[in-house]
Chains A and B, each alone.
With several copies, the nearest count.
Chain A
C-alpha cells in the first residue's frame, strides 16, 4: 500500500518548512482579504518548490498528464537526466548536428526481470541504442526515452532505472534530450518498458553495410558471446539454475572508434543482440549474397554460458549479447582489427570467428570443433529449453 500514515507526517514536516511569515497577533488582527492573501502567497511558494514524488508506486495519475505526471517528470526524469536540451521540456528537443549525415535508430526494451546481474533495463536501454548507432559508424549524441509504466510499479525501482540510464548515458557520452511517460493499467505491462531512439552523426564518408561483405573478408566478434541472454534466462529464476555470470551490457562506441581508427576499411558492424551471433552471420550472408564460414572452435563462449546452454538444450550462437559486436573487415585487416579491439577493455576477448566465402551464397556454415560442417540458419521460434 502506498503512503502509509507516513505520508501525512511527511507532508506536515514539509509544511513546517513552508516559510510562512507568522502573523504577529494571530488571525483576528488582519482583515480577511489580507489574511487570505497571505495564505495564497504561502501556497504559491509551496507550489514553486522542488517537486517530489510522494507515492511509493506508480498510479494511473502519473500518466494522466496532470500534476502527478509533471511531478514525476520533474522529480524523477528531469532530475536525473538534466541537460540544457531536455530542460525546457518542450515538445521536442532542438540541437544542431555537425556532420553530413545523421543516423537514427530505435529500440524498445522489455527485458524481464528488470534488474539482473550486471545491469538493468535502464543501462540496457541506453547501451542498446548507443550500440546501434555505433555499429552504424555514427557517433552517438542524443537519445530519447519513452517509458511505459505499469500501474503499481515501485517508484524506487523507477528511480534506480533512471539513474542507471543517466550513468550509462554519461559513460557513453550521450544526452537524453526528450522523453515521454505513459502509465497503463495493472496487468497491461510488466513493470516498465523503455523505448530509446538515438541520433548520431557520421563524420567523414564512412559507409558501412553488411551488404558490402566480400569473399575473403574476415568476421570478428568482440568478445565471449551469450552472457546477456543466459544471465537473463537464469535471472528469471524459473529454471532454478545458478551461475556466476553477468550481462555484458556495455556501450560500444569507444570500441568502435578504436576499430575504425585502426582499420578504416571496415565493411560492416552489427551488435549481436536478440538472435545472437548466428542471426548476424545470416544477415551478412543474405544481404551480401555470400557464404559465411565460421569456426566453432574460434567462437569465444564462457564455460558457464556453455554449461547452461547444454543443460537447457540451446545453442549459444543464438543467445543474445548486449555488449558484443560482429565486424566484417577485409581479410588482410583482420589482424589489425583484432589487435585494435583487444586494446580496448570491451574488446579484450576479440577473435576472428570466420570468413566470407563465395560459395553457398546466403548460407552460413560452421566448421564444428569436431571437424565436421553444419548449417547455422536463422532461429525458428524462441530458444526453448528442450528435453530432446
Chain B
C-alpha cells in the first residue's frame, strides 16, 4: 500500500532509533505525550516501543474520541435510542462503550434499534428507507470527524430530510491539551501532535504550546516511522533548546488546515460553553453543539434527554490514564476487573484507548520479548 508500507520499514526504523538514542542526554528522562489515540494504537500495534531507548517514555493522551465520552452521555444516547420511533446509528467503536446500564451492544441485543454505520452518510440512507422513523446519528469524534457530520447535516438539509438528527458529542482537542498542560501533576517534554485532527485545524492552533508553555510540538503521521521521526524531531528541538510547532506529516496536513471543513463545522455547529470529559471533568468551550439554525436536526432539542451526570465507577482511573499520570497497567483494576471484554473505563474499549491498546497489543514482558526476538527464527528484528 502506497504511503503506508514505505513508512513501516524496519531498516529505517533502526536508523531513526539510533539517531534518537544518540540525542539522549545522559541521565535525562524524556516524556512525550502522543495526544492522539491513533498514535497510541500505532505504537502498540507495531511494537514501536521496542525501538525507544529507556530514557524515552511515551505518555498516552486524551485523543481517543470514544474514551472521553462521559457515562452520562452514553446513558442519554441510550435513552434516545430506546424511544420506539428512534433508530440510533453509531460507529462500530461506540458499540461497546459502557453506560451505567450496559453498552449499545447490550441494548441492541435486548431489542433496541441501534445500527452500525461506516459513514454518517449511511445514516441518511437509513433515514430515507425509514420515513416513519426518526434516525439519530450518534456523532462522536474530534475535529477529524466533525466535518463529516457537518457535511451530512448540510446534505440532509439540502434534501429536506425531516427524520434525521444528530446527537452531537463532537469535542475539540485544544482545550483538552490545555487542561493537561495546566494540570499540576504532569511533567511533559513535548507533544506528538494529532495528524488527522490537523488536516482540519492545521498547525497554528498548537503555537500557544510552544510559545506559552515552551514545549515543542511535532504534528505526526500514523505510520510507525512517522511517529519515530516525530520523536526524533522533538528530541532535536530539545537538544537545540527550541520549542516550535513542526509538521512531520506535511504530505497530508496543510499548515492552515482545511477551510472547507472548518466552514462546514462553523455553519452547522457552535462551541458549547462547557462539556464533560471522562476523567478530565468539565472543560469550557471544549465541545460542539448544533447551531440554532439546525435545531430541527438536533436530537437534544427534538427529544427530551435526561442529561443526568453519572459518576465514573470508583475503581476507574481513566482520568489519570487520559492525563498521562498513570500508565494503563498502573490502574488498579487493569486486566483483572477491567478488560476489553468487560471494560470498566472507556480507555479499555476503543483500539485507540490507551488501556485497550496496551492490553491488546502490548501486554508482555519487553525484556523477555527482546531476548525471544533475538533467538526466534521467525522474527527478523
Contact = CB atoms under 8 A, between A and B. Distances in A.
Q: Do chains A and B touch in the complex (CB under 8 A)?
A: yes
Interface of A: 1-5, 7-8, 11-12, 14-15, 18, 20, 27, 33, 35-37, 39-40, 42-43, 46, 54-61, 67-68, 71, 151-152, 186, 238-239, 291, 293-295, 297-298, 303, 306-307, 310, 312-313, 352-355, 357, 359-360, 363, 365, 367-375, 377, 380-381, 384-388
Which of A15, A56, A151, A297 has the most C-beta atoms of chain B within 10 angstroms of its own C-beta? A15
B109 A39 contact: no
B329 A40 contact: yes
Nearest to B93: A386
Interface in B78-102: 78, 91-93, 95-96, 98, 100-102
A55 B49 CA distance: 35
Contacts, number: 247
Interface of B: 1, 4, 8-10, 13-14, 37-38, 44-51, 64-66, 78, 91-93, 95-96, 98, 100-103, 105-111, 116, 118, 122, 141, 145, 224-225, 313, 315, 327, 329-330, 333-342, 344, 350-352, 359-369, 371-373, 376-381
A152 B335 contact: no
A295 B378 contact: yes
Contacts of B367: 33
A368 B47 contact: yes
B362 A384 contact: no
Given A3-B106, A57-B106, 19 more contacts: A2-B106, A5-B100, A11-B342, A33-B365, A39-B329, A43-B336, A54-B342, A59-B108, A151-B109, A303-B1, A310-B1, A355-B378, A369-B10, A377-B359, A380-B360, A384-B92, A386-B93, A387-B145, A388-B37
Contact of A307 (B1, B37, B330, B333): B1
Contacts of B362: 374-375
A388 B64 contact: yes
Nearest to B17: A371
A1 B102 contact: yes
A191 B12 CA distance: 53
B110 A367 contact: no
A61 B102 CA distance: 14
Given A12-B315, A369-B10, A388-B352, A186 B364 contact: no
A57 B329 contact: no
A68 B379 CA distance: 30
B336 A14 contact: yes
Contacts of A12: 313, 315, 333, 337, 344
Contact of B373 (A18, A71, A373): A373
A15 B92 contact: no
A386 B106 contact: no
Contacts of A56: 106
Given A8-B344, A354-B378, A375 B91 contact: no
Nearest to B352: A388
Nearest to B47: A372
